[in-house]
Structure 1
């Protein structure tokens, strides 16, 4: 079950916090992601700078749907308001990336970005969910072991 995110929370293995400009900051496990949102599948191929072409199948909910449940701090009826928001996704190793809300918004890019709960048939409960950006040709924005997702404005 999802739990409110509190300042100073210590995360258990595989958990992440969803914070920033949201009405309901929360703490989510991989099981929460699997149990509370529809599962999608993404079969992807991307180029890795160190190991070449990689082929994987990921399962998990859409990032957009998870954030929408938290109550993003924008007016959903105003496109320009939504387009100012960014998502910063951080992994347990400190690797982070930024996506614009417009990339994943159905009225703009509608990219099917996942919070993966399984990779090639293996559940990710012990190591944490993974950000999957199927539209990317390189894997630099694939964040493993997500610990934090922060929604905020661009200025």
Structure 2
């Protein structure tokens, strides 16, 4: 049985990407040409066809995107695992109203593929906890998500 492929986000995925959450991002490494996988959490579906994410402007992710803009976001949601493939570009080199120097990246979605292996479903999604000052983390997370929503 072939996995389902869509040209844009389905509603449950769009809804899941309206808040900070754990995803992995695959890029092509600018030095080796091989795969590079990073975990990120400041991610937001702007609409069904585009996703924003924010990363430190010194991040290797940005160098990789400048050399090769093909990316894959891996999202665990809706009882499955999804590969969201698209073209990325740096929308803003410095995200406004955020104390850290973060870049805003926009991914134009080309394909959303359910990649969960046959006959299974996700029963527990990934949870994480911030290991630094909870109040400061919550404040920063809100600033970043609000700034991405305004962009």
Which of the five TM-score ranges fits, normalised by the shorter chain? under 0.3
Q: TM-score, normalised by structure 1?
A: 0.27
Q: TM-score, normalised by structure 2?
A: 0.28
**More RCO (CA 8 Å, sep 6+):** 1
